[in-house]
Every structure is written in structure tokens, then in C-alpha cells.
Amino acid sequence: EAKAAGGGALRLYKTDMDERAKSRLTHEHDLRRALEQDELVVYYQPRVDINSKAIVGAEALVRWNHPERGLVPPNEFIPLAEEIGLIGQLGEWVLMQACMQNRSWQNAGLPPLKVSVNLSPLQLDPDSTITEAVMQALQRTGLDAKWLELEITETSLMQNVESTLIKLGEIRDAGVSISIDDFGTGYSSLSYLRRLPVNGLKIDQSFIRDITASRDDEAIVAATIALAHTMNLTVVAEGVTTEEQIRFLHANDCDEVQGFLFGAALPPEELTLLLGQTPHGRRTAI
């Protein structure tokens, strides 16, 4: 009886594997099609200067406008894109879109923004073409390098250290900014960052969330901002949702903030409206 049950479990397990393999193949096929048929879209989340409250930047965040599943968030397909070797092409597409969009905002006479683009760690692999892709995106769109920023995670700085340093150095020499995303969730230290061609860091939203309730998080955030400033790094707080958090961040000299309090990631037309709302280029997000 035990044997029979075991066999049944095994069959069940196998069926489950088959299903998963099939669904993975479907998703893989779907994602390749998405890239070819323009089903991916880039949304933009405003980044705000903590003193002036003006929108000074926007983060490009990709979504998949799936014909059946609707708007699919990046966490549900970026890992797959990385797995099937599609992330380079996908990432370069986002980069080009972001530069084009930023250039068109500038052409429309809106005050200039720094648009940031997320890079997968794989895009800094020794054989990746990221440097060329960045140069090409700037050249083709005519965007000045100082209005582009790349966001990389601490993880990507720990892999292929040599080639990563060379690539980031080239990109930075071209005038593009580089910031460390989700800072605090990885293992890099600020002293390590000192050796890198980095302009700023974004404190991960997990530290900001409880900032006004947790003494530990308060201490971590305050110390991170202070240390970052001694190294001339700009500090952005991610995931800001309350006025109370703003007050704390302001008191601790944080430079910029991003979060639902100022707006979620928006389709480009909606950010255009937000940018154009106030006259004389003085843009207020709230």
C-alpha cells in the first residue's frame, strides 16, 4: 500500500514537473514575442528634490502589457529574461526607450530630468555590450549624457569585479551617472564603494518603511546618509510614503526622495502632464 501511494506521489510529482516545464516554455515563448511585438512598456516614477520638492528625475521601470494577463510587473518576468538570455536585449531596449523619452520631454520644452535605468547584474558580464549600448542610445537620441543614470545593485559589484570596474569606468567617463540601487540589502560596504566610479546611492525601501517606528532603521539611515555625503555621494530614499518619513529624511539631510507619496511609476504621457502642471519650470509633485 505504501508502495502504491509512493508511486502515486511520484506520478503526481512528474505531472507537476511536466506542467511546470510546459508553462515555462509558454512563458519563454511569450516573452520573446513580447519583445518583438512591442508588448513591453516603460513607466516612469518621479524622483523629487527634498528641499524644492521639484521633480528632478524619473526612474524607468519596465512592464509587460500582456494580451491576456494584463500589466505584468517586472519581478514576474525579469528573472525569466535573465534565465533565457534575453536580458541584454530587453535591457538595451529599455535604455533606448528611456533616452528617447527623456529627449522628447526636453524637446517639448520641459525642464530637464535625469532619467535612470536599472541594469541587471548580467548586463555587466565580461562579454556584455553595455558600454556600446549606452553610447549608441545617447548618440541616436541626441541626449546629453548628464541626463542619464544607470542603477546597479550591490550584487553586480561583487561579480566579475575587474570587468565591472572597467565597464562602469567607461560609462562614467562618458558623463553618465551611476548609482547603487537597493543599498543596504547586499553586502558591500561604503568603504568598498569609495573605490568605485559611483555618484550616488538609493537606500532600499525596507529601511525607509519603518523609519519612524524603528530606532535601528533610523540609525542605519542617518548613518548611511552622513557617510555617503563624506564620500560625495548623492542619497535617494526609496519607497517614501508618509510626511513623517519626509521630515526625518529632511532633518537628516537626504538629497532626493522617491515613493508613492510623490507618485507611482506612470505611463510617459501621465508624467508629461505632471511635469507640465506648474508654469515657469518650477515643478511640484505634491
219: how many CB neighbours lie within 10 A of its CB?
10
Residue 73 CA to residue 248 CA, distance in Å, equals 30
CB of 6 to Mg ion, least distance (A): 42
Q: How far is the CB of 188 from ligand C2E (least distance, A)?
A: 16
Give the residue with the Cβ less far from ligand C2E, 103 or 202: 202
Interaction partner, residue 252 (Mg ion, ligand C2E, none; CB < 5-8 Å by kind):
none
Q: What is the Cα–Cα distance from 79 to 83, expressed in whole angstroms?
A: 6
Residues near ligand C2E, by CB under 6 A: 45, 61-62, 73-75, 78, 91, 94, 118-120, 151, 181-182, 205, 239, 241, 259-260, 264-265
Distances (CA, A) of 213 to 101, 223, 249: 39, 17, 14
Residue 255 interacting partner from Mg ion, ligand C2E, none (CB closer than 5 to 8 Å by kind): none
- Using the minimum distance from each CB to Mg ion, give the nearer residue, 47 or 103: 47
Amino acid, res. 210: D
Q: How far is the CB of 7 from ligand C2E (least distance, A)?
A: 42
| Dist. CA 283–CA 55, nearest whole Å | 6
Distances in Å between the Cα of 234 and the Cα atoms of 24, 25, 223 are: 40, 42, 14
- The whole-angstrom separation of Cα 51 and Cα 240 is 15
Name the residue nearer to ligand C2E (CB basis): 57 or 74.
74
CB of 4 to ligand C2E, least distance (A): 46
Shortest spacing between CB 13 and ligand C2E, in angstroms: 32
Q: ∠217-235-114 over CA atoms, to 5°? A: 140
Given Mg ion, ligand C2E, none, residue 62, with its beta carbon under 5 to 8 Å by kind, binds ligand C2E
Residue 259: which of ligand C2E, Mg ion, none does it interact with, CB under 5 to 8 A by kind?
ligand C2E
Q: Which residues lie below 8 Å from residue 109, measured CB to CB, with a gap of 6+?
A: none
Q: Shortest gap between Cβ of 50 and ligand C2E (angstroms)? A: 15
Q: Give 30 or 151: the residue with its C-beta nearer to Mg ion.
A: 151
Q: Are 221 and 257 in contact (CB under 8 A)?
A: no
Residue carrying the nine cell digits 558591500? 188
Distance CA 165, CA 227 (A): 22
Nearest to ligand C2E of 184, 275 (CB atom): 184
Output the residue with the shortest Cβ distance to ligand C2E.
259
Nearest to 174 by CA among 209, 218, 132: 132
H helix intervals, 37-86 = 78-83
Q: Which residues bind Mg ion (CB under 5 A)?
A: 118, 151, 181-182, 238
Query: What nine digits make up the cell of 142?
Result: 541626441
Q: Which is nearer to Mg ion, 30 or 179 (CB)?
A: 179
Could you tell me the smallest distance in angstroms from the CB atom of residue 116 to Mg ion? 7
Pick from ligand C2E, Mg ion, none: which does 156 bind, CB < 5 to 8 A by kind?
A: none
Task: Kindly tell me which of 30 and 81 has the beta carbon lying closer to Mg ion.
Answer: 81
